[in-house]
Amino acid sequence: MFARWLYYFFVTLSALGLIGVLLAGFAALVIYSNLPSLDTLTDYRPKIPLRIYSDEGLLIGEFGAERRNVVKISEVPEHLKQAILAAEDDRFYEHGGVDYLGVLRAAHSNFSAGSVRQGASTITMQVARNFFLTREKTLTRKFSEALLAFKIEHNLSKDKILELYINQIYLGQRSYGFAAAAQTYFGKSLQEINVAEAAMLAGLPKAPSGYNPISNPKRAKSRQIYVLGRLHKLNHISSEELSALEKQPIPIKKQSTVFAMPADYISEMVRQVIYDRYQEEAYSKGIKVYTTIRQLDQEAAYHALRKNIIDYDRRRGYRGPEAYIDLLKYGTNQEKTLDDALDEVSDSDDAYAAIVLAAKSNAVRAYRKGGETVEITGEGLKFAQKFLSDKKEAGKKYITPGALIRIQKDKKNAWHIVQLPEIEAALVSLDPNDGAIRALIGGFDFHKNQFNHVTQAWRQPGSSFKPFIYSAALEKGFTPATIINDAPLSFSATQTGSQLWEPKNFDGKFEGPMRMRTALVKSKNLVSIRILQAIGIQYAQDYITRFGFEANRHPPYLPMALGSGSVTPMQMAVGYAIFANGGFRVAPYFIKRIEDEKGNTLEQFQPVTVSNGAKRVVDPRNAFIMTSMMQDVINHGTAIKAKQLGRTDLAGKTGTTSNFVDAWFCGFQKDLVTIAWTGYDEPRSLGNNETGGRVALPIWMDYMGPVLKGIPMAEYKLPNGILATKINSSTGFRESAGDVVEYFFNEQLPPLSDSPSLIDQAPKVTRDLKDQLF
């Protein structure tokens, strides 16, 4: 009886097994017949981001959901292939898509551990999932994955499958593929990485966020050690090599260092242009854009702006911690609290965010993103010392445990407490001969403030606008020697467009009659107002449009003479370029050409240049004389500090608005125009005596110095129709024994006289307008 029942049991079991096999086979046939085509693999077209390059071909920006550099399997270092296989699929070249031994090994490991610790997906199965399937954990999806792996193995070579895996897999930080990850984490090409770096990259596919060496360096190191152990077990490295590699530190580079130079603002300008042309395809078709930006110029601009804005900010004093973090948010798990808090705060170049763990008057201990604890003592506390007092005043933000601060290393590797400036700044530099932008920094930190102050900030230019009014005066018959009275004036509301106005000079002094050249050099406000009165406000408003300014942003009232209208730094660059190039209007541009992913040119920009098609908008004699006058601003005037650069071919004008709200320096060398601006986004005073010459000029100098180093001194050639002659500096009249040389249009020469009276024998323009000028 027992034998019969046993017989029936096995027959039934066998029948059920056979039915199960038949059903599984039928299901496999049904699913297999519905599996997707492999065209995506055989004609691999990955999403390649928009890439932006400098004039030299250096990568300065990248936009796209997937950062990727496609490589061929022959370009992949052998030690990286070994590391990938050791970590993910050591029997890759032996199985047919599904590794049955691996499945059994994983099942045993998971059963022994009582939880899922090992997977059994082969590289081929991962390729199937990444290209065609979802990541849902269901039996149907896993079955489809296995069948698709068989299909892939049947149609593609092992090397091709591995190549697809190496290029497609996600490895964190928006990096897809190992080539992109090598650049992101190490700033290296795939061919440059060593065994230790290869092992760290090979450990990422298991959990790209969990083993990310930027955000989780400790876990990344433990995963790397596991991969190195696997390499040793598979006899790819010796015991001695294993020991040495485990101890080797991995220098992780931050994401921003993937780019050759800091150029976020110009990259964003390019992105907007390319998106307008190509819409969403801009981010996936591998478009390459080559700009006019030069590495030397861009780096010099970046460092000049940051250095001087930080110097200004230090003069204003420490403001206290940025915020306070609840260190007990996650109970005893303080590290999670700290990491979560710092994840929401971005570093600013080498000014790192840190959270204070302990604070005394002579020492501060703080936690940096990535698990590093730093000690700040001595000189490193000096800037913030008042906020470490034991006696605390109500309402003041002190440095206490939980405070979010900024720290920075000095040249001796000692940590200092610093802060991010509230003030903003901008610098733009272009070639006045064709408008090519050589450097552009739209603000102190793009990640803190994406507002581009070069193109979007409408600010009052102050005295940096005076050259355009003086240029208009030259067209009206004035000369640099015209005598104008620097004396008090008072105006009604109808004359100013607002209220009763009694303008003053910056220094509060009135110096009486002086030459127009001297007035510009000393930036005399009362002289500028008298000039505008004399030439006519409407005429001046129309005249400035030649330089690219918008008439409606410069209301026709007398304060226009002092720069009360609105301009952008880019507009000022275009305007000053006309003086630098001898009177031609050129349009600024920053894109040279656009290529597709294969290097075929899609668009090539052909700029209108001084020598080819640019429109002359100002008499070359006018441009020459204005340049000469602005050279004296540097040689003798408000920008005399720029003489430290040791050049004789520089010209420019400082600008400071009322109450020190905006500070400018606009200047040029014959082949390079540079504008520097500083101010607060919400306009307020920069502080007493924080003038254009003190705040903006140093930025300009620290940029122009390195950029012009080694460049021969330029000469401004005397145009036809202009005469240089000696004059009496007190009267402005020609004299054979005159004490200065001045330039005049031939038709505007002042008369010769042994003893002229100040007005009666003056040029006609001066006689006719003596009431306004005096």
Helices (H), 325-364: 334-343
Cα-based angle 353, 357, 358 (whole degrees, multiple of 5): 125
Interstrand relation of 50-53 and 288-291 (parallel, antiparallel or unpaired)? parallel
Q: Which residues, 6+ apart, have CB-to-CB distance to 395 below 8 Å? A: none
User: Quick one: residue 174, left, alpha or beta (phi over 0 = left, psi -120 to 50 = alpha)?
Assistant: left
- Dihedral (C-alpha) 161, 167, 168, 169: value to the nearest 10 degrees? 100
Please state the pTM of the whole predicted model.
0.84
Residue 606 phi, psi dihedral angles, 5° rounding: -115, 95
**How many angstroms separate the CA atoms of 290 and 640, rounded?**
38
Q: Sort strands 175-176 and 67-68 into parallel, antiparallel or unpaired.
A: parallel
Its sign, for the CA torsion 566, 571, 577, 583, is negative
Integer angstrom CA distances of residue 221 from 78, 355, 562: 21, 24, 62
Judge whether 341 and 357 are in contact, CB under 8 Å.
Answer: no
Active site residue 88: yes
DSSP state of 682: S
Q: Enter the tokens of residue 267.
A: 């990259």
CB atoms closer than 10 angstroms to residue 740: 16
Please give the torsion angle defined by the CA atoms of residues 577, 581, 585 and 589, in that order, rounded to the nearest 10 degrees: -60
In this structure, the number of other CB atoms found within 10 A of the CB of residue 602 comes to 13
Beta-bridged to residue 52, according to DSSP, are 61, 289
Q: What is the DSSP letter of 593?
A: E
What span, in angstroms and rounded, lies between the C-alpha atoms of 231 and 79? 9
In this structure, how many other beta carbons lie within 10 angstroms of the beta carbon of residue 730?
Answer: 14
The catalytically annotated residue of 54, 175, 267, 463 is: 463
- Is 361 tagged catalytic? no
- As a whole number of angstroms, the distance between CA 73 and CA 15 comes to 48
| pLDDT value for 424 | 98
The string of pLDDT tens digits covering residues 503-522 is 999 888 999 999 999 999 99
Using alpha carbons, select from 51, 45, 81 the residue that is nearest to residue 67. 51
Residue 30 tokens, joined: 């049904």
The pLDDT of residue 30: 43
Angle at Cα 460 formed by Cα 541 and Cα 773, nearest 5°?
Answer: 50
pLDDT tens-digit map of 662-680? 999 999 999 999 999 999 9
Q: Residues 54, 62, 88, 424: which is the catalytic one?
A: 88
Identify the CA nearest to 85 among candidates 233, 277, 297, 248: 233
pLDDT at site 134: 56
Tell me: the pLDDT tens digits for 126-160? 888 877 755 565 555 566 777 788 888 888 899 99
Distance from the Cα of residue 186 to its chain's centroid: 20
3-class secondary structure, 749: coil
User: Is 16:130 a contact under the CB 8 Å cutoff?
Assistant: no
How far is residue 237's CA from residue 227's CA, in Å, rounded to a whole number?
11
Q: Give the residues of the chain that fall short of pLDDT 50.
A: 19-33, 106-108, 110-111, 113-118, 255-257, 755-756, 758-759, 761
- Taking the C-alpha atoms of residue 745 and residue 152, their distance in angstroms, rounded to an integer, is 82
